[in-house]
Amino acid sequence: MKKDLIDIQDLSREDIDELIAVAEDIIADPDKYAEKCRRKKLATLFYEPSTRTRLSFEAAMYELGGQVIGFSEANSSSAAKGESVADTARTVACFADIIAMRHPKEGAPMVAARSTHIPVINAGDGGHNHPTQTLTDLLTIAREKGRLDDLTIGCCGDLKFGRTVHSLIAAMHRYPGVRFVLISPEELVIPEHVRTDILQANNIEFLETRDLEAVMPELDILYMTRVQRERFFNEADYIRLKDSYILTPDKLTYAKPDLAILHPLPRVNEIAVAIDSDPRACYFRQVLCGKYIRMALILKLLGVK
Ligand code: CP
């Protein structure tokens, strides 16, 4: 049976640990993997803008010896003429071996997966899920901290629309000793379904607060997020909330010396550029982890050893 990745919860903890181990092996010996996907094609179907996700998927496939086809905006595909996601996926499956899809509508990659016989990877669907960003985050945390358990993880910013935070919580709650500190303005708190169905349902310790500086000394990981302009109905609300949290060097005064600062990027204004030279700033190393974990995922879904 073909495998897809639509939601991070499609993967068991064992699956995740295996993907991380393969990614580590690729980092250690990239030449071993250089021909693994010869004659295979990845289709990147991006109906929404992307820099990291699309280009890291494409780099991943090229570094596995494969090829890439696709589009980077809906308007350059027949979606502009009204073609459905299902028909597009069925068509692309005639040309490619695996699909990575980003779409503004929640559930679109699931529709694509049900319409084709080839694996479909959700590369971000609306405010819902972004499982390959979560795999990227997990590899980054594993490399930076040497573990995925016994961590206090602060998630800061737009926790309502931030799909990467929802997926991160859904993945990390399975590791023992993980505690979440959720830092956001009142209007952008974590959705009720994440609070009840994941955190409370699994007895995960969590704290909700507005005050980043007060909780900074507790944090092992600080996961900053952008306020998602594209998800707001009202521009005035976005402008009022967009600079709710700006991480500046003075705010790190009481942070742990081995804090790891992550951000899925793109950054707008929520981390001052002055932080970039702090060794605790991991977000550009995180980008590179995205390529390696996507290489591991492509191999797994294509069944390539
Ligand atoms: N992190 C992330 O999804 O970045 P892009 O939107 O640039 O792909």
On the question of pLDDT at 232 being above 80, the answer is no
Same domain? For 263 and 298 the reply is no
In a domain, 72, yes or no: yes
- For residue 163, indicate whether it is catalytic: no
Cα–Cα separations (whole angstroms), residue 60 to 2, 29, 37, 118, 276 = 20, 14, 10, 18, 25
Q: What is the pLDDT of residue 231?
A: 66
Integer Cα distance of 11 and 102 in angstroms: 19
Query: Mean pLDDT, the chain, as a whole number?
Result: 95
Among 4-18, 82-96, 241-255, which is the least confidently predicted range? Answer: 241-255
Number of domains in the chain: 2
Same domain? For 138 and 257 the reply is yes
In a domain, 1, yes or no: no
At 120-146, the pLDDT tens digits run 999 999 878 899 999 999 999 999 999
Which CATH number is 77's domain given?
3.40.50.1370
- CA of 168 from ligand 1 middle (Å) equals 15
Q: What is the pLDDT of residue 233?
A: 67
Q: What is the pLDDT of residue 129?
A: 86
Same domain? For 148 and 258 the reply is yes
Q: Check 36, 102, 163, 166 and give the catalytic one.
A: 102
In a domain, 2, yes or no: no
Integer Cα distance of 291 and 288 in angstroms: 6
- For residue 2, indicate whether it is catalytic: no
- For residue 231, indicate whether it is catalytic: no
Among 132, 265, 284, 288, the mutation site with the greatest number of ligand 1 atoms within 8 A of its Cβ is 265
Question: Domain containing 151: what range?
Answer: 131-286
Q: What is the pLDDT of residue 277?
A: 97
Among 51, 129, 228, 230, the mutation site with the greatest number of ligand 1 atoms within 8 A of its Cβ is 51
Same domain? For 175 and 95 the reply is no
In a domain, 3, yes or no: no
In a domain, 76, yes or no: yes
In a domain, 220, yes or no: yes
On the question of pLDDT at 240 being above 80, the answer is no
On the question of pLDDT at 105 being above 70, the answer is yes
- CA of 267 from ligand 1 middle (Å) equals 10
Same domain? For 210 and 123 the reply is no
Give me the mean pLDDT over the 142-158 stretch: 97
Same domain? For 145 and 257 the reply is yes
pTM exceeds cut of 0.85 = yes
pLDDT-derived band of residue 234, with 50, 70 and 90 as boundaries? confident
